[in-house]
Amino acid sequence: MNRAQIKSIPKVELHCHLDGSLSPEFISSRLGRKVDFKELSVSIDCTSLNEYLEKFDLPIKILSTPEAVREGTIDVLRQGAEENVRYMEIRFDPVCLSNDGMTTDEAVIASIEGLREGEEKYGIKGNIILCAMRQFDLDQNLGTLALVEKYLGKGVCCMDLAGAEALYPTSGFKALFQEAVNRQIPFIIHAGEADGPDSVRAAVSFGAKRIGHGVAMKGQEDLQQELKKKNIPVEICPTSNYQTKAVHGTYPLREFIDAGLKVTINTDNRTVSDTTLTDELEKSVHIADLSDAEIVTLEENAVNASFADTDTKEKILEELKAFL
């Protein structure tokens, strides 16, 4: 497929951070000044995940009111709709956004309102993922878990664990995810991005429904086969992974596909990484020498791995058949 064809196929995005994907136009409108794109994005010269995360400071400052969260959610959905993304899961940390007087409930409600308005305006469906953060203590993250429980099925689909993975290893969050299991709350985990394969092993042992990034599984045949056996999808983000130095040398997309993993392609942060889902799929074609059928399979994987309702899944899967 060429770029125009990739843009035209119905697509699903599972790993997209709200604060890292606000358009420069939206941020400029909220600040009242034109923002230099360099303030918001990194280049391939970025040295680490920690440096990458510094680009979130300004967007988080912008998302300080319910109105901003609602309109920011709409802004991200608009970007997706412009490249025929049909369903999108947008994630953010509600605790971080509540530091300027807005409550966590208000932030979540505003994001759900944004989903509804975005669907009405652009015809794109979506769900919200709420992120527990690695630097927070257990009580703070249990607060996020309680929010997921409160709004589950009402616009929120699951909980995630995000943040500086190497500084706060996944293995230290057993109590949080045990509580999620006890409450029957689904969760996904960033793992194998800035830390090694043991991070993925911990996430799998906790019961994660999907693995965010997971590129540290490169060369780990036993771990790959465990994910295949347990049918745990992987959300990979090629541009971001190179920028944060999660990957050096050969990207493991072809390795993961050949191992039978349910791989999905995502942007991670549209603005911070200066990318779109079309860009990521086009890059993936070159990285892994993908056939047209494999591109469609990647999108089918994303549909099936999503928390979308059955009708939405069936409709997108039916549309994808036309591209086989």
CA distance 221 to 198: 13
- Please name the residues in contact with 219: beta carbons below 8 A apart, sequence gap of 6 or more: 252, 255
CA distances from 233 to 33, 51, 204, 277 (A): 41, 27, 11, 18
Q: How far apart are CA 317 and CA 301, in angstroms?
A: 10
Q: How far apart are CA 313 and CA 250, in angstroms?
A: 33
Measured on CA atoms in the order 41, 196, 232, 251, is the torsion positive or negative? positive
pLDDT at position 14 is 98
Q: How many residues does the chain have?
A: 324
DSSP structural state of residue 247: -
Q: Answer yes or no: are the C-beta atoms of 20 and 270 closer than 8 Å.
A: yes
Q: Is the pTM of this model over 0.85?
A: yes
Q: How many H-runs (helices) and E-runs (strands) does the chain carry?
A: 16, 8
Q: Pick from 37, 164, 15: which is nearest to 88 by CA?
A: 15
DSSP-assigned states of every residue in 92-149: E-HHHHGGGS--HHHHHHHHHHHHHHHHHHH--EEEEEEEEETTS-HHHHHHHHHHHH
Q: Rounded to the nearest 5°, which phi and psi values hold at 231?
A: 55, 50
Kindly state the helix (H) or strand (E) to which residue 205 belongs, with its residue range: helix 197-206
d(CA 169, CA 160): 14
Residue numbers annotated as active site: 193
**Residues 320/9, Cβ–Cβ less than 8 Å:** yes
Per-residue pLDDT of the chain (324 residues; tens, 9 = 90+): 999 999 999 999 999 999 999 999 999 999 999 988 888 999 878 888 778 888 898 999 999 999 999 999 999 999 999 999 999 999 999 999 987 689 999 999 999 999 999 999 999 999 999 999 999 999 999 999 999 999 999 999 999 999 999 999 999 999 999 999 999 999 999 999 999 999 999 999 999 999 999 999 999 999 999 999 999 999 999 999 999 999 999 999 999 999 999 999 999 999 999 999 999 999 999 999 999 999 999 999 999 999 999 999 999 999 999 988
Structure tokens at 83: 């490249």
